[in-house]
Amino acid sequence: DLSPIEEGQSITVMWRGKPVFIRHRTEKEVAEAKAVDVKSLRDPQSDAERTKEGHEKWLVMVGICTHLGCVPLGQKNTDVRGDYDGWFCPCHGSHYDSAGRIRKGPAPKNLLVPDYAFINETTIRIG
């Protein structure tokens, strides 16, 4: 149920024993993510490829760094969010942007977007 998640807020849920980050992105975060030149990315994916059409404010990702399996910071408003206003893995210095794409550091891939679907405007099913 996404209804209690306010704009700019993130929550973490567990799915198949893994943390899943769900973020209700702000207009600024969505604009930042869409403005990135995909060709400049290590693991090229557009923001549209990482979100569902009509629900671009919602980002759903497995919260495990693709370098060595750590859990990045960025879910709390007080967390360090890295150089790209997203998530930061302090273990080895990977920086992810507001779409969960790797931008700096040793991680080889973007944070994984699991299969999920909107059941209605305020409910998703993961898997």
User: Distance between CA 72 and CA 88 in Å, rounded?
Assistant: 5
Q: Residue 92 carries which DSSP code?
A: T
Q: Residue 75 carries which DSSP code?
A: S
**Residue spans of alpha helices (H) in 1-127:** 27-35, 47-50
Residue 67 designated active-site: no
Task: Give ∠ CA 123-72-85 in degrees, rounded to 5.
Answer: 80
Catalytic residue among 24, 55, 67, 92: 92
User: Distance between CA 100 and CA 112 in Å, rounded?
Assistant: 8
Catalytic residues: 92
